[in-house]
Amino acid sequence: MSSGSVQESAPLSGAAGLEAARKEYAELRARGLSLDLTRGKPSPEQLDLAGDLLSLPGGGDVKAADGTDTRNYGGLLGLPELREIFAGPLQVPAGQLLALGNASLTLMHDNVVQALLSVVPGGERRWADEPRVRFVCPVPGYDRHFGVCERYGIDMVPVPLTGEGPDMDVVEELVASDPTIKGMWCVPKYSNPTGEVYSDETVRRLAAMRTAAPDFRLFWDNAYAVHHLTGERVEILSILDACAEAGNPDRAFVFGSTSKITTAGSGVAFVGSSPANVAWMKERLLKQTIGPDKVNQLRHVRFFRDTDGVTAHMERHRALLEPRFAAVYEVLESELGPLGIAEWTRPKGGYFVSLDVPDGCASEVVRLAKEAGIALTPAGAAFPYGKDPRDREIRLAPSFPSVEEVREAMRAVAVCVRLAAAEQEAAGTAG
Ligand code: PMP
């Protein structure tokens, strides 16, 4: 198979096009590849960047800044010096930012469950006592957010993203008219999977919109706050400030973690909010734990030293990630660009590229890729209930494989897209 300009030998239209697309796909299958673009995981090289963590804080270095012995119980809200380091990046005052366990997803899950089982500030009853609870879900979005809703019977209302965040005309109308809408998932910066960044206007409107539910909450998952992929370090408005200014100080819970900064699964997760919400979360924490893993938190403090340390560290990640994303664009442009059958995002940060293929083709592309040894995220994964109504979006995760593997996998994806599109065209002509 030639790699640079396959589309020249596979013109899309007509029986000859279908024939050529089938032939290059047969060649692809014969190669017996085994590649994986499903995992939004840091590569081993990225994890090595935080290799020193494994020997920190080091023998005898056990005391936090205030003299607390980190090996012992206590310190429910996390080490103050670590909360200071992440206060700026997460746009939450350190006093209102808690440094807790190893995963922000756990904190999001627990906040949803806590809202189901105990009345949130400003609420009249527990969400579990409502006849129905619904969440606004910008799409495409993060499948694990949707999984939390599905697990607890929270209905999901998809709202399209516009390039500047969710379609706010739709969101405002929904939340103003429907008191069963209690929450909304937001990944405001370098969103998973489209790389969406919420504009200042979007943030202000989310903070100020009138909600029929008095206990409506934004679940503001700023998972990619410092995960820049270009020299432009995109900043967004602070949601907590915007909510306070709009007179809705308790509207947002902010989440983040070091999962894709230091070590995935053994980093530190954060949650921040208004003083009233923090007090509410603290009531749960008091029953849930005697304190977080402060040794791990101290390790992170020693590793970063300060917020500039985080920034410098993220530049090292960028150096590893940028060429992988460049490989994705390069192949998509050369192999699919001239055909006009696909569109893709060019995120300024985060972990994913979102590829839109012709309507009705995403499942077929994923199936063809699988048969050729290329694992792709299941079509529809970025939509509530796993259903993409247009069956066109495919989430590409280029961080984990090597640059050459990314290139190879993307060439294979392009072959599959061309075949799926040619098959669809042929079926349309036949019908
Ligand atoms: N939120 C988003 C938007 C993510 O993409 C991810 C990781 N894929 C997470 C949360 C998970 O974060 P954590 O490891 O802190 O649970």
The sign of the dihedral angle between the CA atoms of 387, 144, 401, 375 is negative
Q: Is the CB of 108 under 6 A from ligand 1?
A: no
**Per residue in 237-278, pLDDT tens?**
999 999 999 999 999 999 999 999 999 999 999 999 999 999
pLDDT at residue 394 greater than cutoff 70: yes
Q: Which of 111, 144, 161, 263 for mutating ligand 1's site (highest number of atoms within 8 Å of CB)? A: 144
pLDDT at residue 5 greater than cutoff 90: no
Cα(392) to centroid(ligand 1), Å: 24
E strand spans, 9-165: 35-36, 97-99, 134-139, 155-160
Give me the phi and psi of 167, to 5 degrees please: -65, 105
CA atoms of 207 and 420, how far apart (whole Å): 43
pLDDT score, position 2? 35
Q: Is the CB of 219 under 6 A from ligand 1?
A: no
pLDDT score, position 11? 53
**Per residue in 126-172, pLDDT tens?**
999 999 999 999 999 999 999 999 999 999 999 999 999 999 999 99
Cα(189) to centroid(ligand 1), Å: 13
Q: Is the CB of 100 under 6 A from ligand 1?
A: no
**Per residue in 286-302, pLDDT tens?**
999 999 999 999 999 99
Identity of the amino acid at 344: W
Cα(175) to centroid(ligand 1), Å: 26
CA atoms of 307 and 290, how far apart (whole Å): 28
ipTM over 0.90? The verdict is yes
pLDDT score, position 90? 98
List CB contacts of 344: < 8 A, sequence separation 6 or more.
328, 329, 332, 353, 354, 355, 356, 396
Identity of the amino acid at 334: S
**Among the listed residues 228, 226, 280, the one whose alpha carbon sits nearest the alpha carbon of residue 98:** 280
**Per residue in 37-82, pLDDT tens?**
998 999 999 999 999 999 999 989 999 999 999 999 999 999 999 9
200: region left, alpha or beta (phi > 0 left; psi from -120 to 50 alpha): alpha
Is 263 within 8 Å of 383 (Cβ atoms)? no
List CB contacts of 421: < 8 A, sequence separation 6 or more.
12, 21, 339, 341, 357, 358, 361
Task: Determine which residue's CA is closest to atom 1 belonging to ligand 1.
Answer: 223
- Nearest-atom number in ligand 1 for the CA of 40 is 8
Rounded average pLDDT over 32-40:
93
Q: Is the CB of 187 under 6 A from ligand 1?
A: yes
Q: pLDDT above 70 covers what percent of the chain?
A: 97
Cα(192) to centroid(ligand 1), Å: 9
- Reading the block at residue 230, the tokens are 């270009």
pLDDT score, position 428? 84
- Please report the domains of the chain, with CATH numbers, ordered by start residue: 6-46+311-430 (3.90.1150.10), 64-305 (3.40.640.10)
Query: How does the average pLDDT of the chain come out, rounded?
Result: 95
Q: Is the CB of 216 under 6 A from ligand 1?
A: no
List CB contacts of 80: < 8 A, sequence separation 6 or more.
64, 65, 66, 94
CA atoms of 298 and 67, how far apart (whole Å): 12
**Among the listed residues 399, 69, 417, the one whose alpha carbon sits nearest the alpha carbon of residue 224:** 399
Q: Is the CB of 101 under 6 A from ligand 1?
A: no
Query: DSSP secondary structure string, 276-337?
Result: HHHHHHHHHHHHH-S---HHHHHHHHHHH-SHHHHHHHHHHHHHHHHHHHHHHHHHHHHHTG
- Nearest-atom number in ligand 1 for the CA of 256 is 15
- Nearest-atom number in ligand 1 for the CA of 265 is 14
pLDDT at residue 430 greater than cutoff 80: no
Cα(398) to centroid(ligand 1), Å: 16
